[in-house]
C-alpha cells in the first residue's frame, strides 16, 4: 500500500492544512452561513440530504445483485461481459461508500465534537469522545464524507468531468454549514475523507485488474491493461 499512500498524500496534507486553517474561523463562518437569506437556506435544506449513505449503499447493492443475476442468466458472452462490468462498478461504489461510512462514524465516535446547535452552551470546540449521541457527532461531517466518496467515484471513473463532480460534492458540504448541522472544518474533513476513500479503493481495484489499471505514472486509470484489454 506504499504506492497508494504516497500517491494520495496530497489529499491527507490538504485535509490537515484546511482543517487547521478553518478551525479558528468555524464560529464566525458558521454564524454567517446560518444568517443567509431564507431563500438560500431553504434551497440548501432541499439538497443537503442528497449526501446520505443509506440510498447510496442500497442502490449500489441492488445493482450488484442484479449484475450477479444477469451474469448467471446470460447465455451470450458479450452480455456476460457487460454483467461482469456492471458487477465490478457496483462493487466499487458499494465498497467505497461502505468504507467511507465506517471511517467517518469511527472518527465521530473518537472525537465527539458538539454540533453548532450547542454553540451557545458549549462553544465551537467542545469534544466529548466515545459518545454515540448525535449532538456530539459533528466532526467529520457524514453527509460531506458521503458526497466526497460518491462524487469522488465519478471523478475517478470520468476524470475529464472531475472538476464538475468536485463542485457538486462541495455544494453538499457547504449546505451542511448553511443548515447549521456542521462547522466548516467538519465539512472540509468529510469531503476530503470521502475523496481519499474513493481514490484508495481505486488502487485496490486496480491491483486486481477490476475497473481500473495502474497507468505509467502509477495512478489508477479506467479500464484493463494488457492483452485482454
Residue 56 is predicted with a pLDDT of: 75
Query: DSSP 3-state helix, strand, coil percentages of the chain (rounded to 5)?
Result: 75, 5, 20
Q: Rounded to an integer, what distance in angstroms lies between the CA atom of residue 220 and that of residue 23?
A: 33
pLDDT tens digits, 145-197: 999 999 999 999 989 999 999 999 999 999 999 999 999 999 999 999 999 99
**How confident is the prediction for the chain on average, in pLDDT?**
87
Q: Report how far residue 166's alpha carbon sits from residue 72's, in angstroms, rounded to the nearest whole number.
A: 36
Report the SS3 class of residue 214.
Answer: strand
DSSP 8-class letter at 128: -
Domains of the chain, by residue range, sit at: 2-215
Residue 69: pLDDT band with limits 50, 70, 90: low
Amino acid at each position: 500500500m506504499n504506492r497508494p499512500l504516497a500517491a494520495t498524500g496530497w489529499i491527507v496534507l490538504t485535509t490537515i492544512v484546511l482543517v487547521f486553517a478553518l478551525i479558528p474561523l468555524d464560529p464566525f463562518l458558521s454564524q454567517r452561513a446560518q444568517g443567509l437569506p431564507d431563500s438560500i437556506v431553504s434551497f440548501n435544506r432541499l439538497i443537503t440530504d442528497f449526501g446520505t449513505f443509506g440510498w447510496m449503499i442500497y442502490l449500489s447493492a441492488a445493482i450488484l445483485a442484479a449484475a450477479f443475476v444477469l451474469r448467471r442468466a446470460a447465455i451470450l458472452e458479450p452480455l456476460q461481459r457487460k454483467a461482469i462490468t456492471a458487477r465490478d462498478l457496483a462493487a466499487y461504489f458499494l465498497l467505497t461508500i461502505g468504507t467511507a461510512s465506517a471511517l467517518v462514524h469511527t472518527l465521530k465516535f473518537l472525537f465527539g465534537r458538539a454540533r453548532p446547535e450547542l454553540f451557545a452552551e458549549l462553544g465551537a470546540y467542545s469534544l466529548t469522545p466515545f459518545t454515540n449521541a448525535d449532538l456530539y457527532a459533528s466532526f467529520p461531517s457524514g453527509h460531506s464524507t458521503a458526497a466526497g466518496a460518491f462524487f469522488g467515484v465519478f471523478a475517478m471513473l470520468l476524470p475529464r468531468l472531475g472538476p464538475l463532480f468536485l463542485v457538486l460534492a462541495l455544494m453538499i458540504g457547504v449546505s451542511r454549514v448553511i443548515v447549521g448541522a456542521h462547522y466548516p472544518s467538519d465539512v472540509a474533513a468529510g469531503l476530503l475523507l470521502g475523496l481519499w476513500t474513493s481514490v484508495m479503493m481505486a488502487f485496490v481495484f486496480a491491483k486486481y485488474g477490476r475497473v481500473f489499471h495502474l497507468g505509467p505514472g502509477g495512478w489508477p486509470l479506467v479500464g484493463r491493461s494488457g492483452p485482454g484489454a
